[in-house]
Amino acid sequence: MSISRRQFIRNSLALATASALPVNALAQAKPAHSVGVLLDPLFFKHTLHGHPESAERLKAIDAELTRRDYWKYFTPVKARTALRDELQWVHEEGYIYDVEIYADGGGGYINPYSEDTYVTPDSFDAACMAAGGNIEMNLAVYDRDIDRGFALLRPPGHHALKNKAMGFCIFNSDVIAAKALQKYRGVKKVAIIDFDVHHGNGTQDLTIDDPSILAISIHRHPYWPMTGGMQHVGTGQAKGTNVNIPFLKYAGDQAYLEAYDQVIAPKLRDFEPEQILVFAGYDGHWQDPLADHRLSVNGYNQLVKRLTDSAEELCGGRISFALGGGYKLDPLAQCVAGSMHTLLGLPGTFDDPIGLSPDEELTYPERIQELVKHHLA
């Protein structure tokens, strides 16, 4: 049974109820899939005015989902705080303690050599809630409480290292959630797919020697954080389970989708994951101010459809998404709404008011063939 956004917020966030929303013709349609959505008030409290990764991002997403009357379709998934032991599956105890003390002391930029990752008095609690929430989302997907999930969490996680915050990220919630599936449900193999325009260096470092986790990142390279070359394929028994798909500037929809069809989908088939986790960064959109790739909202929608098709083919449809980058508010909101439209399986074509890049995108056919030979030979 569908629920209103008022019910969603009351059930999942324990916030004040919202006013009733108008129902349009599209909202009368019945979704083909149940989609769990996770959101928590702490994700709004971790914020710094003027910083690219602020709570304004979630507010923009919420406003667009409200405008399109999508909230009533979602099944609320309640977040929880990650246990210390769960954080220590991937992070050093001393680092966890340092973040907590830094937040308790009022915060600031946690890495004094790079003003990118801030900590506020609420950031430690928000990061713990993001990690625990991603665990709960993925357990709900695995247990079939929902068909698919999207965790609208902050702070993000894919740059977070074992003992260091970087790139707006504090705890690596995707790797923590993958470990939770293995420890709590006995899952043998998990795939983490990262389509943020920046390489998921933290995810790579934390899984590089683990043959039970397939980590795939498609990104701009060379680019910050200056990692993600195709030569990194995993070490020891994990060789072949780290897959980097680097593109130079101006890659767009066609390059990403061709790379998915020719590299990512075959790697997933070879690996046979029992669940797929997606780090959903939308900063490859052509309007994003922090990068120079040229994806469109529709391109992301097609990428999400391919991911869900792979999940249906390989692991009974078990797939979850966690919010990554995207720093211009309107494109971010449209991309997330488009992904939700695709995940729900709503009829019709998603209405993208932004459209394609006015500038030509590069397709990189030679690079894709190079990647095929490198990763699938």
Catalytic machinery residues:
159
What are the b/e assignments for 240-253, b being 16+ CB within 10 Å? ebbbbbbbeebbbb
Number of residues written out for the chain? 377
Beta strand spans in the chain (E): 35-38, 75-76, 108-109, 118-119, 148-151, 190-194, 213-220, 242-247, 275-280, 319-323
Dist CA 311 CA 304 (whole Å): 11
Rg (CA), the chain: 19
Dist CA 1 CA 78 (whole Å): 18
What are the b/e assignments for 358-370, b being 16+ CB within 10 Å? eeebbbbeebbee
Dig out the tokens for 361 from the structure.
């995108």
Q: Quick check: bond before 365 cis, omega within 30? A: no
Tell me which residue of 239, 298, 246 sits closest to 271, measured CA to CA: 239
Q: If DSSP states are collapsed to H, E and C, what string results for 148-169?
A: EEEECCCCCCCCCECCECECCE
| Whether 319 contacts 148, CB under 8 Å | yes
Q: Which residues contact 130 (CB under 8 A, 6 or more apart)?
A: 43, 79, 151, 153, 154, 155, 156, 157, 171, 173
| Whether 45 contacts 52, CB under 8 Å | no
Burial-class residue 181 by CB neighbours within 10 Å (0-12, 13-18, 19+). buried
Q: Which residues contact 160 (CB under 8 A, 6 or more apart)?
A: 91, 166, 167, 169, 170, 171, 172, 202
Q: Which residues contact 185 (CB under 8 A, 6 or more apart)?
A: 139, 142, 143
